[in-house]
Structure 1
Amino acid sequence: MGFRDDFLWGGAVAANQVEGAWNVDGKGMSVADVASYNPNAGNDYRKQVAVDSKKVEEAIKDQSDTFYPKRRGIDMYHRYKEDIKLFAEMGFKVFRFSIAWTRLFPTGEETKPNPKGVAYYQDVIAELRKYGIEPLVTLSHYEMPLNLAVKYNGWADKRVIDDFTRFAKVCFESFSDVKYWLTFNEIDSVTRHPFISAGIIPDRSDNLEQDEYQALHNQFVASSIVTKMCHEMIPGSQVGCMLTKLTTYPATAKPEDVLAAFNKNTMNYYCADVQVKGRYPKLVLDFFKKNGIKLDATEEELKLLRENTVDFISFSYYMSLLAAGDESGLEMTSGNTVVGGKNPYLPTTEWGWTVDPVGLRISLLELYDRYEKPLFVVENGMGTKDVLNADGTIHDDYRINYFKQHFSEMKKAVDAGVDLLGYTSWAPIDLISASTSQMSKRYGFIYVDIDDNGDGTKKRYKKDSFYWYRDVIANNGKEL
């Protein structure tokens, strides 16, 4: 069968990792602007994204970008036309990007948006339309206003719901020709990195676990409100949820290991369950009860969840993990902000992430079997060190091989009956790492001449994978 004729091939980025211009044209500070360069944390994301009140205060006082690479990004704010032209040359059908909340509402509490912020994204969308590229817009991608984190401890406070829905309404009014929307990026990540994902400053929480699950509930409610709003304001629009797909296998056939894997996968799915099925799973409610988690959830909010479910499920997939009843014997690994058992049967990247193409097919089959709704792979890729040669070439056969294997497994899932809308690689162009804020951890088909210190020409170079992906899109994945 192969991919559908209107399959949406493209790439994905987040505003806070590419735009830069962190204090330009009225933009306010976001939680991403206090993420420091931290390559010495190794592969343990808990050290990479660690934050407390003192670090936030220090970052606010430091108005330079020396130690905060996301503030400078890759300067896409000023070079978006050049970058979109390169995406068009690859034949992109879709480009996933996020709206920086603080470009529109610098503190998150304004009643009217910053016109320069609105105009910027209107220009970006117009540039995409010029080349026939469909925008896929994420409303919240790890870049909530820092003011809301400091003032309210982020999404742990219900008052943030109104601030977010006001922001979303302006997006729908200002960018009304956008058909595809995502509400919260990797919404389940609140329990793994609460500050980046939900603006929660851990040392300000009396009960961090309680605040994390309350923040998730508040995001579920906000997502339902804006899903309803989007459907009403933009007829024919499609709104999706976004899940970190953490496919977990039992370390052995021991029943205790199988049970451990089941529990991990159940908790991974629950965020999608709420947004797709409109209710909390009974096993998760039992988990809350046993762990003393008491959600402030009104009947009106639960009704909103039931009546405003998403149209499709999008997800990121980078690696699979192992689980065991007793993890003391497991070698642990970390990737995409999660720690789990390392699979000895799989190769790993330079950053220790396991490479499991078959796991992507398993993920697609599991998700489609569970929900029977269209799927969209909106993040997948590998971070590696690339070498820019003297003649301007970058030979990255390893990246081509990675994508070739994953696309082959995607095709098998489609042939098995999965309804797959599209695929956006993470990322089509080199950007600042979400976890370590490194530039040397490169994902793109396009090389950006910037190093970890922010030095370089910012010039863009096409890697070998650029031409390979262009050909894949041209033949709709028939030849890999």
Structure 2
Amino acid sequence: MQDMNLTFPEGFLWGGATAANQIEGAYNEDGKGLSTADMVCYQSKEERGDRPVTYEVTGAQIEEILNKKNSGVFPKRFGIDFYHRYKEDIALFAEMGFKVFRLSIAWSRIFPNGDEKEPNEAGLAFYDKVFNELEKYNILPLVTLSHYEMPLNLSLKYGGWENRKVIDMFVHYAETVFKRYKDKVKYWITFNEINAALTSPYTGAGILADRVDNVQQSSFQALHHQFVASALTVKSIRKIIPDAKIGCMLSAVTIYPETCNPKDSLDSLKKEQKSNHFYTDVQVRGYYPNYMKRFFLENNIEIKKEPKDDSILKEYTMDFISLSYYMSLVTSTKNDAKKVSGNLFGGVKNPYLEQSEWGWQIDPIALRIILNRLYDRYQVPLFIVENGLGAYDKIEEDGSIHDPYRIDYLRKHIEQMKEAIKDGVELIGYTSWGPIDLISASTSEMSKRYGFIYVDQDNYGNGSLERYRKESFHWYKKVIESNGEDLT
């Protein structure tokens, strides 16, 4: 019989995850071009009122920003100044004992407009310095090629990922960084949360809703181009860095039916197919699933393909699946079901779960469920590359920061990871989001803090930028030292 005392394997990759547009700052230094993320404006709760949070941006809004008719604050331009403080931050990660650090490369640092032939040497040199610093502490870099940003020019001039020409530009960018960092980076991810192309077309695919006729049609076409670009990137890396591992990345969500009504169960199945499995079916199995072909037919969606696209998708599949996990979702076919506003994917309130301060339903057991479902379906290694709790943190008079709520959240999720490993899931690593306070992806605020490290900065960029260790810093260090055994 299988040993049921399985725990985290030797060499398990513990660490933390970030994104360039949320930490780097220096948005206009050393030749960097504007990115789509640089156009996302912060709105306070007072300014937003009852309107839901959105980080979608239209072409009209971009024109106002570029013509200086918008005097708003753009936090993803200043980040937390990692660009100048990376040595200090990496030293803190090393103090916690990180085995791996997930970061992204800002495409617009390497190709400021996205369509150049020659790269920006200053941008390449910056990441050389970051990777050298990580190597100094024996921290492996896990690099995302596209994390919720692309050169703004590709959105304005080409229409984002809906334009097939962007495939070649992305592959050229990927091959450029593969060749430059082939001896420094062995773990890669193509697109962060690739399902965002449908849920947030501007953020995930550079689509400007006011410049297309049918956003859903444009989003699916853009997604197809990302699938092809991702597969061609796999083809390239196997030639340039044969010993590298490259994966896809999914914003994973477990979806429960509200009742045992068969209609609710069917609705749950359809939503999970469209929210989760579609993307990994294409990128890991290598073909479009039949359930999506029916969806396209019933919704008048036509995917324009080139003759070799299907064979490219089939031949160049992913080595592993990486995923973010924050919450579960309940779906109901009843029109009067009580909704939850905070969840990324909407859904019905689950009476058995607590919520974060931002209304995200906290469900550690669902992490075990989704890990089992993904592994049973694909039988490839899994890597949790985002999981964490956004919360308000307070500095005490003595400089300490107590965040037991964060420790409790992470402890319960790590316990369920261990249970999934006992279930037989091949889990290779865990990078919490984000190990240092950073700009929120959804709200562009600083007060929604995730880190083990506190950064003295407010929503408007004011503050000393000093770094402070939170209580969770010391707790996570102990977790890593014990390879997940000491969670007290």
TM-score range, shorter chain: over 0.9
Deviation at 1:331, TM superposition (A): 2.2
Q: Which amino acid aligns with 2:287?
A: R
> 2: distance between equivalents of 1:42 and 1:110?
42
Structure 1 pair 231–471 and aligned structure 2 pair: CA distance change class (3 A): same
**1:153 maps to 2:122:** no
Instruction: Indicate the larger mover: 384-393 or 73-82.
Output: 384-393
Question: Which residue number corresponds to residue 385 of structure 2?
Answer: 378
8 Å Cα contact 1:450/1:458 also seen in 2: yes
Q: Give the structure 2 partner of residue 131 of structure 1.
A: 137
Question: For the Cα contact (< 8 Å) 1:65–1:72, is it kept in 2?
Answer: no
Residues 1:103 and 2:109 are matched in the alignment:
yes
Q: Which amino acid aligns with 1:344?
A: P
Instruction: Compute the displacement of 1:344 (Å).
Output: 1.3
> Is residue 397 of structure 2 the alignment partner of residue 390 of structure 1?
yes
Alpha-carbon distance in 2 for matches of 1:67, 1:415 = 47
Contact 1:259 1:325 in 2 (8 A): no
Match of 1:352 in 2: 359
Query: Does residue 368 of the first structure (1) align with residue 384 of the second (2)?
Result: no
Distance 2:40 2:417 in 1: 34
Equivalent residues in 2 for 1:54-453, closer than 5 Å: 54-62=60-68, 67-177=73-183, 178-268=185-275, 269-335=277-343, 337-453=344-460
Q: What per-residue deviation string (whole Å, max 9, x for no partner) do you get for residues 186-233 of structure 1?
A: 001111110011000001111111100000000000000001101110
Question: Could you tell me whether the CA contact under 8 Å between 1:43 and 1:352 is conserved in 2?
Answer: no
Give me the whole-angstrom Cα distance separating, in 2, the residues matched to 1:437 and 1:223.
Answer: 28
Aligned pair count? 478
Q: CA deviation at 1:328?
A: 2.9
- Unaligned ranges ≥5, structure 2: 1-5
> How far 1:65 moved relative to its partner?
8.8
Q: Could you tell me whether the CA contact under 8 Å between 1:44 and 1:334 is conserved in 2?
A: no
Aligned-residue offset at 1:60: 2.0
1: CA distance, partners of 2:292 / 2:31: 42
Q: Which amino acid is the alignment partner of residue 347 of structure 1?
A: E
Cα shift readout 1:337-395 (whole Å, capped 9, x = no counterpart): 42222211100000000000001111111110111100000000010000011222100
* d(CA) in 2 for partners of 1:420, 1:59: 44
- Please give the alpha-carbon distance, in whole angstroms, between the structure 2 residues aligned to 1:69 and 1:80: 18
Instruction: Classify 1:355/1:110 alpha carbon distance in 2 versus 1 (closer, same or farther; 3 Å).
Output: same
Which of 17, 28, 31 does residue 33 from structure 2 map onto?
A: 28
Q: Supply the AA of the counterpart residue of 1:254.
A: N
The SS at the match of 2:362 is coil
- For the 8 Å contact 2:64–2:70, the answer to whether it is kept is no
Alpha-carbon offset, residue 334 of structure 1? 2.9
Map Cα deviations across residues 157-182 of structure 1 (whole Å, 9 max, x no partner).
10111111110011101111211000
- Kept in 2, the 8 Å contact 1:39–1:437? The answer is no
Distance 1:366 1:65 in 2: 47
2:17 to 12, 25, 41: 12
Deviations 1:126-182 (A, max 9, x none): 100000000000000011011000111100110111111110011101111211000
Q: Which amino acid aligns with 1:147?
A: N
The amino acid of 2:17's aligned partner reads: A
Q: Is the 8 A contact 1:155 1:199 kept in 2?
A: yes
SS in 2 for 1:2: coil
Instruction: Output the amino acid matched with 2:462.
Output: D
Checking the alignment, whether the CA contact within 8 Å between 1:66 and 1:453 is kept in structure 2 is no
Shift in Å, 1:98: 0.3
* Contact 2:339 2:346 survives alignment (8 Å): no
Q: Which residue pairs with 2:463 in the alignment?
A: 456
CA–CA distance in structure 2, aligned partners of residues 332 and 43 of structure 1: 14
Cα separation, 1, equivalents of 2:182 and 2:436: 27
Q: Deviations over 1:8-32 (max 9, x none)?
A: 0000000000000000000000000
The separation in 2 between residues aligned to 1:205 and 1:63, in whole angstroms, is 24
SS of residue in 1 equivalent to 2:169: helix
Q: Is this contact kept in 1: 2:341–2:359, CA < 8 A?
A: yes
Q: Helix, strand or coil for the counterpart of 2:385?
A: strand
* Counterpart residue number, 2:3: none
CA contact (8 A) 1:191 1:213 kept: yes
CA distance in 2, matches of 1:138, 1:370: 24
User: Taking structure 1 as reference, are residues 327 and 86 closer, same or farther at Cα in structure 2, changes over 3 Å only?
Assistant: farther
Q: Partner letter of residue 311 of structure 1?
A: D
Mapped contact 2:60–2:210 kept (Cα < 8 A): no
Change (3 A) 1:65 1:446: farther
Taking the aligned partners of 1:397 and 1:220, their CA distance within structure 2 comes to: 41
Partner of 1:138, secondary structure, is strand
* Contact residue 16 and residue 100 of structure 1 kept, 8 A: yes
Distance 1:155 1:454 in 2: 31
State the shift of 1:64 in Å: 9.6
How far is 1:478 from its partner?
Answer: 1.1
TM-score, normalised by the number of residues in structure 2: 0.96
Aligned-residue sequence identity (percent) comes to 52
Q: Classify 1:185/1:42 alpha carbon distance in 2 versus 1 (closer, same or farther; 3 Å).
A: farther
Q: Deviations over 1:244-273 (max 9, x none)?
A: 102110011111111111111011210111
- The Cα RMSD (Å) is 1.4
SS at match of 2:336: helix
Cα 1:17–1:71 shift into 2, 3 Å: same
The Cα shift of 1:63 comes to 10
Q: Which runs of 5+ in 1 are unaligned?
A: none
Question: Is the Cα contact below 8 Å between 1:15 and 1:98 reproduced in 2?
Answer: yes
Deviation at residue 299 of structure 1 after TM alignment: 2.5
